Amino acid sequence: MAQVGIIMGSNSDLPIMQEAIDILKRKKRGKYTILQTKKNYQPDNVEYRELYGMAFSQDRNNKVVDASVFTKENCKTNNKNATDLDKLNLLLATTTLKYTQSNSICFAYDGQAIGIGAGQQNRVDCVALCGQKSDTWFLRQMPEVLNLYNLFKQGTSRQAKVNAILSYVQNEMNHKQYYEWKELFTTEPTPLNQTKVNNWLSKIKGIAMSSDAFFPFPDSIELGQKHGVSTVIQPGGSIRDDSIIRACNNYNMTMFMSSVRVFTH
């Protein structure tokens, strides 16, 4: 797939644009297609898709979810204690979902999107995929994992280190892969202790979960809490909204219903 760099600006932004181009030249040996867009360009409010000779139209995905959704009326759970950081994480996760293919779930933590489950056939699979990515992100912060950076042989590339860390925390290498993997280190690393892994993951709290459309069943809430989710935002509108609220209350979660779908097809 071709690498594409998109630069938004006008002639008055030439110094900034040139700086961006210079950065792109240093990446991937400069093999980028550069597209310059008009700084103030606004697309039409209606988008069109053609499929088998039929044309479909839909409103452009231009809804904005901001802090105005965090009202007492929109908070449907008994626990209404969302911190400013919780709200920031919820907004970040929701904004991320605007640019992913539905169905989608996003986990955010400490101002970062740490797991995205997109394009799945059902919502609980999206949560499961998010949970796997989130767990991997947290495992990479374990002291035993961080210590691996001290064991890499000199000259090991950054990407090779990233791949090696991922293989270490996922622990899915066959014999041949493990032999090649350990050759990256000056000393063969000690395998992760599963009890330590479980204890580390069990302490995770404070993750924000956003859904691009309503939760049809409480199973997504139940699975989310196993991965440390404590705050939730979703549009609402399911015939089972009451059961979703009860599930959140069972786990002392805070949940907002925004009434805004960011459901992209």
Domain CATH for 151: 1.10.287
Query: Does a structural domain hold residue 99?
Result: yes
- Residue 4 is predicted with a pLDDT of 52
Question: Long-range pairs for 23-29 at CB < 8 Å and ≥24 separation?
Answer: 27/3, 28/3
- Do 207 and 130 share a structural domain? yes
Query: Does a structural domain hold residue 61?
Result: no
- Do 107 and 82 share a structural domain? yes
Buried b / exposed e over 88-113, threshold 16 CB at 10 Å, is bbbbbbbbbbbebebbbbbbbbeeeb
- Do 226 and 106 share a structural domain? yes
Domain residue limits at 185? 143-191
Domains in the chain: how many in total? 3
Query: Does a structural domain hold residue 55?
Result: no
Instruction: For strands 104-109 and 112-118, give the pairing.
Output: antiparallel
- Do 158 and 178 share a structural domain? yes
Per-residue pLDDT 10s for the chain (265 aa) are 455 555 555 555 556 677 877 887 777 777 777 777 777 888 888 888 888 999 988 887 777 889 999 999 999 999 999 999 999 999 999 999 988 888 999 999 999 999 999 989 899 999 999 999 999 999 999 999 999 999 999 999 999 999 999 999 988 889 999 999 999 999 999 989 999 999 999 999 999 999 999 999 999 999 999 999 999 999 999 999 999 999 999 999 999 999 988 876 6
- Residue 143 is predicted with a pLDDT of 94
Give the global pTM: 0.83
- Residue 41 is predicted with a pLDDT of 80
- Do 183 and 99 share a structural domain? no
Query: Does a structural domain hold residue 56?
Result: no
- Do 96 and 114 share a structural domain? yes
- Do 12 and 120 share a structural domain? no
- Do 152 and 116 share a structural domain? no
- Do 71 and 23 share a structural domain? no
Query: Does a structural domain hold residue 42?
Result: no
Phi first, then psi, for residue 61 (nearest 5°) are: -75, 75
